[in-house]
Structure 1
Amino acid sequence: MEMREFRKKIEAKLVHEEWTTAYDHKESTLRVEDKQTKKGVTLQLKPLLAKWERNEFGSIDEVVRYVELGLHSMKIEVSLEGNEKNIYPVIRSSSFPTETKENKQLIYHEHTGETRIYYAVDLGESYTLIHEEMIKSSKLTADKIREIALFNIRSLEHPLNEDRVAGNTFYFLRAKDGYDASRILDQSLIDKMERKVTGKLAVAIPHQDVLIFADIQNDTGYDVLAQIALQFFKDGRIPVTALPFLYENGELEPTFILAQKKPKDPSSTKK
């Protein structure tokens, strides 16, 4: 399906007396805003079209539902008090905005050179990112929010699908709860995967809704992981980074920095 036809299908479903839509031809994005709040949701149409062509979502109605939930959550006044169990970390790229469109400073911590950790209050089918004004009206601090979020992420399950390519094993975590990539912050999961692999442990966080681990046994494994990460990055609703990482000495390090450290053959990897 061509982009124009796909866009028209979505626009036809988004006709609403309280919404306005604007299409950016250069970026292939569709902006949907609430006339009253002037807040909105931006749809990245290229990855959505790719998912549509792979039959990864059932109908355009799923996109409409996403827009409805997003616009609805923007109208809700969220309090941190009493919502501590619903605070989770969310991984975003280092280029992600640090403030809202209303110039409210978002709460975040640095993660890697490619990623940052933001924080959200889960609202069920959607969530809202935590900003400084929300903290001012509560007894929490940014550090306390980080502590709570990292504690809560450990309570989530770790469903993994496994695939093998050229002697390398790849594990895909896709729980479809909005916090798939965030699970990289669960140290118990990292420790579990480190014990599981027999080669080098590599990680990819291409977009919000997937986390990829790889048991790298040979040079081909690096190439395959890079290709997988790039493809997921292109198709993700909220892209994070196409750059894979190696997990060494408790740190995530970009693979391009460690290019000279690639094992010459499977026997040179750790056992």
Structure 2
Amino acid sequence: MNKRQCIFCGSKDLSREHIYSKWIFTILQAKEKVFKPSFHFIERSNANEYADNFSNDVSDGREIRYDDFTLKQVCNACNNGWMSELEVKVKNIFVDLLDNCLDINHISADDALTLSQWVILKTMLASLTTQQKIVFSTMAYRLIQKGIIPEGFIVEVTKMKYSNLNYMIGGPIVRKAFDISREELDFAIMNLYKACLQIGNIAFRVSFLRTEIPVFRKQIIRKLFVLYPYKSKMPFDKQPNEEIDYGEKLELPILSAQLAVHD
């Protein structure tokens, strides 16, 4: 990926893209356009399903102003064209979700596709602001620009107990059960991308898996609504500690940990 050209279309007429748009702070009624992510990145090898082990990896991070949370890898045409149009569509859906006018489990197929395109786009951009930048193929960026979600993505949504503005990237849980080697399983998870994004009490989990190793993704403890592929049924493993309150700081990391890679 060339840092001097748009990641979506290759134009060299770059602008600064705000990862969180102004409307987000408006609908959250934020007094200041500042947020403080509680969690940035978990190394894959450190991923663990237990909250006490997570606490060592969770960082309060630095306070970030909305105006500073930008990325200069998008051109003016993309920024003010298809990306702006997508923001307008998503804002209207979000207002209904946060006002409880729209139930998560009754999101239409069209709205689910719009939300999925938007949250994939946002996590792609946010991942490029971290030290462990995650770069997709040129074709993946091109497809997102055209409103097409590349094969391998799953987008889920849920309502959280606490309201927050937060994101995180990385940290899959691995569960070994069958007769593939640990080396094969490790190779498979190296081809997994996972990110979570929370706005208010609405949280999304995005995962992308491209590998020929026979593994699958499984929801753990909490059953999330699958936006994309729309209403698809993911394997689910309910556990007895479903009602544990991990607190605001750990809520998003725990949500991330409730998606396992299983053989």
TM-score of the aligned structures, taking structure 2 as reference length: 0.30
TM-score of the aligned structures, taking structure 1 as reference length: 0.29
Name which one, 1 or 2, has greater alpha-carbon Rg.
Answer: 1
